[in-house]
Amino acid sequence: MASRALLHRSNVQDFKDWLVKDGWELEEAKGVWEVIRARKVGKKFPLMVYDRSGGDHLSLLDRDIHIIKQFIKDRHRAQG
């Protein structure tokens, strides 16, 4: 399944920057729907973020929700 309500499209660049700081290596997105593709040493699968709905939020696989939640948590800490 995919989650479609955690990453707002206006936060894509901030999320990419956060991924790099967290040790992820950004790769070229594949296909029409991929917005972000990243790999991290020790992770079996790449992180992939998709634009499937055309709405304000992007989709990602359920297995990667914890990564987006950590980004949101870190972002709130930095702002507050």
Encode the chain (80 residues) as per-residue pLDDT tens digits. Answer: 566 778 999 999 999 999 999 999 999 999 999 999 999 999 999 999 999 777 899 999 999 999 999 999 999 998 87
Beta bridge partners of 27: 37
Strand spans (E) along 19-73 = 25-27, 34-39, 47-50, 57-61
Domain spans in the chain, listed from the N-terminal domain onward: 2-79
Round to whole Å and give the CA distance between 80 and 78. Answer: 6
Q: What is the pLDDT of residue 1?
A: 58
CATH 3.40.5 is right for the domain spanning 2-79:
no
Beta bridge partners of 50: 34, 59
Whether the Cβ atoms of residue 50 and residue 60 lie closer than 8 Å to each other: yes
Q: What is the pLDDT of residue 24?
A: 98
Q: Which of 38, 19, 17 is nearest to 28 (CA)?
A: 38
Q: What is the pLDDT of residue 67?
A: 95
